[in-house]
A = this chain, B = another copy of it.
Amino acid sequence: MARPVLALDIGGTKLAAGVVTPAGDIVAELAGATEAAAAPSEVTEALLDLGRRTMAAAGMQPGDLAAVGISFGGPVDHANGTVITCHHLAGWEGLPLRDMISEQTGLPAVMDNDGNAAALGEVVFGAGRGSRHLLYITVSTGIGAGIVIDGKVHRGANSMAGELGHTHLVPYGPKCTCGRLGYLESLAAGWAIAKAARDALDGGARSALRSVRRDELSAKHVMEMAHSDPLAARIVSRAGEYLGLGIARAVNLLNPEVVAIGGGISQAGEVLMAPVRRGFSRHVMPELGRDLRLVTSELAPRWGLLGAAALAVREASKAQA
């Protein structure tokens, strides 16, 4: 029987490790916090420690495992196994993280950004099983995408494919984190949903959202209250429709079989997905929308961890072939 893999997930606020079978079953998993102030070497050591403890919890040694997969919350150079930049943590530029982890564990290692890893995870373990072309979209604090073409992750010339969040959507829209106006993130990301709510409250809007302290108001609150509060419902509906438009445009270009939406915001369920489908249907070419499955990820909330596991499972099967 094929051996399990070690999956490591480095997010902006969270580390996670798991021992995962080639079928996607989690034998053991552990989570820890990412200290934003910590040096890369400290975070890496904490991650490796988490990995070792997870293997111990599964009753395994590195020798029992086939490979290690790493999902990183920022752009990475997949071919070289290095971090390009990290928006959440300082000092990671150029770090040869993949080889460091391979050396410490003695296992073949493979690393990708979280969007690409999750897209592959969806194809190997999730909503995209058996599909050749899949678009994965993560909607959390920011918006990113991973593209699978012919069963393989499409990374592009600079390992930067999938920048759906930083793509122009409407003229003179809100200001995006990239500095430009009307980009998808500025209309539908978690931070944009929270900001839209704060702006409306500052403008005097009546809403049950006032029960939350202004500086604590998050997209999560807006999502939760969208079931009963008209302002929250309007904000989520607008974000969902813009997201649907952004997805339709990507689908018109790529013609995938499946679009899977993951990330914290995707957990809102129908309150988000109904407007997403509305915006999508309005703007997709009919021939391209007819057979397409537009679904929420089946890997929630382990997009990064199971994405990392999928990377490792693929790497291990390549090594055997």
Within 8 A of B (CB), among A152-166: 152, 154-164, 166
Provide the bound-state CA to CA distance between A164 and B249, in Å: 8
Provide the bound-state CA to CA distance between A184 and B226, in Å: 34
Provide the bound-state CA to CA distance between A108 and B252, in Å: 31
Contact with B along A131-167 (1 / 0, CB 8 A): 0110000000000010101101011111111111011
User: Can you tell how many copies of this chain the complex includes?
Assistant: 2
**B-side contacts of A164, CB under 8 Å:** 252-253
Pick the residue among B168, B255, B257, B283 that contacts A283 (CB under 8 A): B168
Provide the bound-state CA to CA distance between A75 and B288, in Å: 12
B160→A287 contact, CB < 8 A:
yes
What is the predominant secondary structure among interface residues of chain A facing chain B? loop
Among A154, A157, A288: residue with most chain B CB under 10 A? A157
Provide the bound-state CA to CA distance between A178 and B291, in Å: 19
Contact with B along A281-295 (1 / 0, CB 8 A): 001010110111000
Least CB distance from A163 to B in Å reads: 4
B157→A255 contact, CB < 8 A:
yes
With both beta carbons as reference points, the residue of chain B lying nearest to A283 in the complex is identified as B168
Least CB distance from A88 to B in Å reads: 17
Least CB distance from A142 to B in Å reads: 13
Least CB distance from A189 to B in Å reads: 15
With both beta carbons as reference points, the residue of chain B lying nearest to A183 in the complex is identified as B283
Verify if A11 is at the interface (C-beta below 8 Å from B): no
Verify if A307 is at the interface (C-beta below 8 Å from B): no
Q: Please classify how large the interface on chain A is, using the bins under 10, 10 to 19, 20 to 34, 35 or more.
A: 35 or more
Pick the residue among B150, B170, B249, B288 that contacts A170 (CB under 8 A): B170
Provide the bound-state CA to CA distance between A198 and B63, in Å: 74
Least CB distance from A67 to B in Å reads: 23
A167→B252 contact, CB < 8 A:
yes
Q: Are A157 and B285 CB-contacts (below 8 A) given A163-B252, A171-B170?
A: no
B285→A178 contact, CB < 8 A:
yes
Provide the bound-state CA to CA distance between A290 and B157, in Å: 11
Pick the residue among B154, B166, B245 that contacts A168 (CB under 8 A): B245
Least CB distance from A179 to B in Å reads: 10
Among A75, A132, A170, A288: residue with most chain B CB under 10 A? A288
B157→A132 contact, CB < 8 A:
yes
Q: List 30 A-B contacts (CB under 8 A).
A: A75-B287, A133-B157, A145-B253, A149-B149, A149-B150, A150-B154, A154-B254, A156-B254, A157-B255, A157-B256, A157-B257, A157-B291, A158-B290, A159-B255, A160-B285, A160-B287, A161-B253, A161-B255, A162-B253, A163-B252, A163-B253, A164-B253, A166-B252, A166-B285, A167-B249, A167-B252, A168-B245, A168-B248, A170-B170, A253-B253
Could you tell me which A residues sit within 8 Å of B by CB distance? 75, 132-133, 145, 147, 149-150, 152, 154-164, 166-168, 170-171, 178, 180, 245, 248-250, 252-257, 283, 285, 287-288, 290-292
Further pairs besides A133-B156, A147-B253, A167-B249: 4, Cβ < 8 Å = A156-B256, A160-B285, A161-B255, A167-B283
